[in-house]
Structure 1
Amino acid sequence: MADLSAEEAVAAEQIFGARLALAKRYVEHLATSGIERGLIGPREVPRLWSRHVLNCAVVAELIVDGAKVADVGSGAGLPGLCLAIARTDLYLTLIEPLERRVVWLEEVVADLGLDNVEIVRARAEQAVDKVECEVVTARAVSALSTLAPLTIPLLGGRGELLAIKGRTAGEEIAKAAKVIRKLGGVQTEVLTAGAGVLAEPTTVVRVKVQRR
Structure 2
Amino acid sequence: MLPLPESLRPSAERLFADRLGLAERFASMLAEQGPERGLIGPREVERLWGRHILNCALMADAIDPSARTLADIGSGAGLPGVVLAIARPDLTVTLVETMQRRATWLEEVDAELGLGLEVVRARAEDLHGVRSFDVVTARAVAALDKLARWTFPLVADGGELLAMKGGSAAEEVDKAGKALAKLGGIDPRIEQYGVGEVEVPTTVVQVRRRAQGTRKGETRG
Which bracket does the TM-score occupy, shorter chain normalised?
A: over 0.9
* CA 132–179 in structure 1, closer or farther in 2 if over 3 Å, else same: closer
Query: Normalization by structure 2: what TM-score?
Result: 0.91
Q: 2:97 is matched with which residue?
A: 96
Deviation per CA, 1:161-207, whole angstroms, max 9, x where unpaired?
Answer: 00000111001101111111111111100011223432322000001
- 1:1-212 to 2 correspondence within 5 Å? 2-65=2-65, 66-115=67-116, 117-210=117-210, 212=215
Q: Which amino acid in the other structure matches residue 162 of structure 1?
A: L
Secondary structure of the equivalent of 2:39? coil
Secondary structure of the equivalent of 1:163? strand
Deviation per CA, 1:32-63, whole angstroms, max 9, x where unpaired?
Answer: 12221101111100111111010001111111
Aligned mates of 1:100, 1:200 — CA distance in 2:
30
Aligned mates of 1:47, 1:123 — CA distance in 2:
29
Q: Which amino acid in the other structure matches residue 21 of structure 2?
A: A
Secondary structure of the equivalent of 2:112? helix
Structure 2 residue runs of 5 or longer lacking an equivalent are 216-221
Q: What's the offset of the Cα at 1:157?
A: 4.3
Give the fraction of aligned pairs with identical amino acids, expressed as a percent. 53
Deviation per CA, 1:126-180, whole angstroms, max 9, x where unpaired?
Answer: 0223333111000000110111000101114441100000111001101111111
Aligned mates of 1:155, 1:114 — CA distance in 2:
23
Q: Which amino acid in the other structure matches residue 97 of structure 2?
A: E
Secondary structure of the equivalent of 1:189? strand
Deviation per CA, 1:5-47, whole angstroms, max 9, x where unpaired?
Answer: 2211221112111111100100111111222110111110011
Aligned residues: 211
Equivalent residues of 1:22, 1:112 under 8 A apart: yes
Q: What's the offset of the Cα at 1:105?
A: 0.3
Equivalent residues of 1:129, 1:156 under 8 A apart: no
Query: Normalization by structure 1: what TM-score?
Result: 0.95
Aligned mates of 2:34, 2:11 — CA distance in 1:
23
Aligned mates of 1:131, 1:78 — CA distance in 2:
21
Q: What's the offset of the Cα at 1:3?
A: 2.7
Secondary structure of the equivalent of 1:55? helix
Q: What's the offset of the Cα at 1:81?
A: 0.4
Q: Which amino acid in the other structure matches residue 101 of structure 2?
A: R
Secondary structure of the equivalent of 1:32? helix
Equivalent residues of 1:59, 1:202 under 8 A apart: yes
